[in-house]
Amino acid sequence: EIVLTQSPGTLSLSPGERATLSCRASQSVSSSYLAWYQQKPGQAPRLLIYGASSRATGIPDRFSGSGSGTDFTLTISRLEPEDFAVYYCQLAITFGQGTRLEIK
Amino acid sequence: QVQLQESGPGLVKPSQTLSLTCTVSGGSISSGGYYWSWIRQHPGKGLEWIGYIYYSGSTYYNPSLKSRVTISVDTSKNQFSLKLSSVTAADTAVYYCARERTTVTHWFDPWGQGTLVTVSS
């Protein structure tokens, strides 16, 4: 069973800054199966990135994904107030534990 | 666009069976190409995949829940359902239904809004 480990657990940044979130798999995986989600309080997760680097429909281009093998990254180039949320990576039926992005 | 909506009791007694239904609108479950899934989130915790069903009726369940889970589909109503038996307080969670893509890539989109199910006497 592949385990996904996200880091950091909590990231404190200010609007306008760049956010870099990490997702590490316990073994090498196909990037085609790596996705990222955003979840705000009281809402369902929203698909942001699939195939490690493809933006889902309607997702702003400040969100980008990259990586291969065991290491994957979600980058938010310039944080907007609405970007502060919890972010999850997903591979097949496994989710990471999440990174909370909070306002500094 | 495709939308999903969960429905069912918000309170279930211990040892009973949790039953939820997901109604799909804006698209047909029978169109193929996608699986239809249930995912849950314990309060303040991460996401746990429960299982999926294809319109043909084929299913796959999380091994950790397999003995207690049944997912079924009603294509005439464009719905799929979850049954989780012998529930305990540990099954208290927000339950989401979602469309799952597994061909070439793998993602869940869209999701229902989620429904909180509390297990308590």
For B37-73, write each residue's pLDDT tens digit: 999 999 999 999 999 999 999 999 999 999 999 999 9
A32 CA: distance to closest CA in chain B (Å): 5
B32 pLDDT higher than 90? no
Is A59 within 8 Å of A74 (Cβ atoms)? no
**What residue in A sits closest to B99 (Cα-Cα)?**
A47
Is B16 within 8 Å of B65 (Cβ atoms)? no
**Is the Cβ of B103 closer than 8 Å to some Cβ of chain A?**
no
Return the pLDDT at A19. 98
Contacts of residue A28, Cβ cutoff 8 Å, sequence gap at least 6: A69, A70
Is B14 within 8 Å of B28 (Cβ atoms)? no
C-beta atoms surrounding A25 within 10 Å: 21
Is B21 within 8 Å of B8 (Cβ atoms)? yes
Contact across the interface for A95 and B109, Cβ inside 8 Å: no
Return the pLDDT at A80. 98
Q: Which two tokens stand for residue A36?
A: 């990222």
- The neighbouring-strand residues paired with B101 are B107
